[in-house]
C-alpha cells in the first residue's frame, strides 16, 4: 500500500502542492488530474522522494519514502519530467545501462521490455533519431525493467499519436491486471485512461481538491472528463468570488 498524508511542498511565489492525501492499494490506478501549473509534477516528485517536503510524507507499506529510500525505491518505477535518455546510445544499449542497477534483470528481460513497449524494431537505432513518442516509450521501458510494484508516470502519453497512446494505455492496463501493480499517472489525455483507472485525484492551483473512485464518478457524471470539468469550474468560480 502507498499512502500520502498531508504532503506539502511550496516554492517561492506559491507554486507547488499543499495538503495532498492519497491511498493507493495494490492493483489500483489513480489519475492525477489538473490544468498546467496545478502542481501535478511537484506532487509526483515529492511522493517519489525526489524533493523534500515542507510537511507530510509518503509511505510505502508504512515506510517513509524520503527517510528510507533504500527500502522503498526498489519497489517503485518513476517516470517524472521530460524524458532525457543519452542521445548517442541505441535504445538497447540505454536499457543495458540500467540492468546492472536491478538484481534479476538480464538480457532476456531487456528484450521482453522493449517488446512490451513496442520498441523492438527501433532498439538498434540511435536515440538522437527517435521521435518524442519513441523517447517516451524508451523511458517507460527503463522504469519497467525491474517490474516495480508501484509506477509513477508524469504525462506518459506526451508526444504520442492516437495509436501510440492507445497501445501504451492497453499495455499498462494489462500489466495492472496481470501483476497487481499500482499506478499513479498524471495526464491530460483523460479519455485514453478512463476505462482502466480506478480513482481520479484532482489538484488545482497547488491544492488537493477532490478524490473519487471511478464507480462513484460514473454514478454522477457522464465520465471522468465531465467530473474533472465540473470540479474545475467550481474551483474557478470560487476563486472569482
Residue 110 lies in a domain: no
| DSSP-derived 3-state class of residue 93 | helix
**Can you count the helices (H) and strands (E) in the chain?**
9, 10
Residue 200 lies in a domain: yes
Q: Which domain holds residue 227?
A: 2-82+151-240
Q: What is the DSSP secondary-structure string of 52-69?
A: --SEEEEEETTEETTT-H
Q: What is the Cα–Cα distance from 80 to 135, expressed in whole angstroms? A: 13
Residue 26 lies in a domain: yes
Residue 131 lies in a domain: no
pLDDT at 240 over 60: no
Summarised one tens digit per residue, pLDDT across range 63-103 is 999 999 989 988 999 999 776 767 889 999 999 987 777 87
Residue 94 lies in a domain: no
Residue 143 lies in a domain: no
Residue 25 lies in a domain: yes
CATH number of the domain bearing residue 63: 3.40.50.300
**Scanning the structure block, which residue is given the C-alpha cell 473519487?**
212
Summarised one tens digit per residue, pLDDT across range 28-64 is 999 999 888 889 999 999 999 999 999 999 999 999 9
| pTM reported for the whole predicted model | 0.92
Residue 122 lies in a domain: no
Q: 79, 140 in Cβ contact below 8 A?
A: yes
Average pLDDT over residues 155-182: 89
- Domain total in the chain: 1
What pairing do the DSSP bridges indicate for beta strands 63-64 and 55-60?
antiparallel
Amino acid at each position: 500500500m502507498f499512502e500520502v498524508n498531508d504532503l506539502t511542498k511550496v516554492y517561492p511565489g506559491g507554486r507547488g502542492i499543499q495538503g495532498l492525501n492519497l491511498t493507493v492499494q495494490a492493483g489500483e490506478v489513480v489519475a492525477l488530474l489538473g490544468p498546467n501549473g496545478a502542481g501535478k509534477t511537484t506532487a509526483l516528485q515529492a511522493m517519489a522522494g525526489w524533493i523534500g517536503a515542507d510537511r507530510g510524507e509518503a509511505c510505502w507499506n508504512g515506510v517513509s519514502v524520503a527517510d528510507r529510500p533504500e527500502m522503498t525505491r526498489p519497489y517503485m518505477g518513476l517516470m517524472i519530467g521530460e524524458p532525457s535518455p543519452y542521445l548517442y546510445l541505441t535504445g538497447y544499449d540505454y536499457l543495458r545501462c540500467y540492468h546492472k542497477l536491478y538484481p534479476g534483470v538480464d538480457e532476456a528481460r531487456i528484450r521482453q521490455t522493449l517488446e512490451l513497449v513496442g520498441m523492438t524494431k527501433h532498439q538498434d537505432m540511435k536515440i538522437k533519431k527517435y521521435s518524442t513518442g519513441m523517447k517516451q516509450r524508451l523511458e517507460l521501458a527503463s522504469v519497467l525493467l525491474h517490474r516495480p510494484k508501484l509506477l509513477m508516470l508524469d504525462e506518459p502519453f506526451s508526444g504520442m499519436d492516437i495509436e501510440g497512446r492507445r497501445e501504451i494505455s492497453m499495455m499498462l492496463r494489462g500489466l495492472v491486471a496481470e501483476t497487481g501493480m499500482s499506478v499513479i499517472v498524471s495526464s491530460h489525455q483523460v479519455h485514453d485512461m478512463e476505462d482502466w483507472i480506478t480513482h481520479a485525484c484532482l489538484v488545482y492551483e497547488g491544492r488537493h481538491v477532490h478524490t473519487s473512485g471511478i464507480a462513484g464518478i460514473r454514478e454522477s457524471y457522464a465520465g471522468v472528463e465531465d467530473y474533472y470539468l465540473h470540479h474545475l469550474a467550481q474551483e474557478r468560480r470560487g476563486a472569482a468570488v
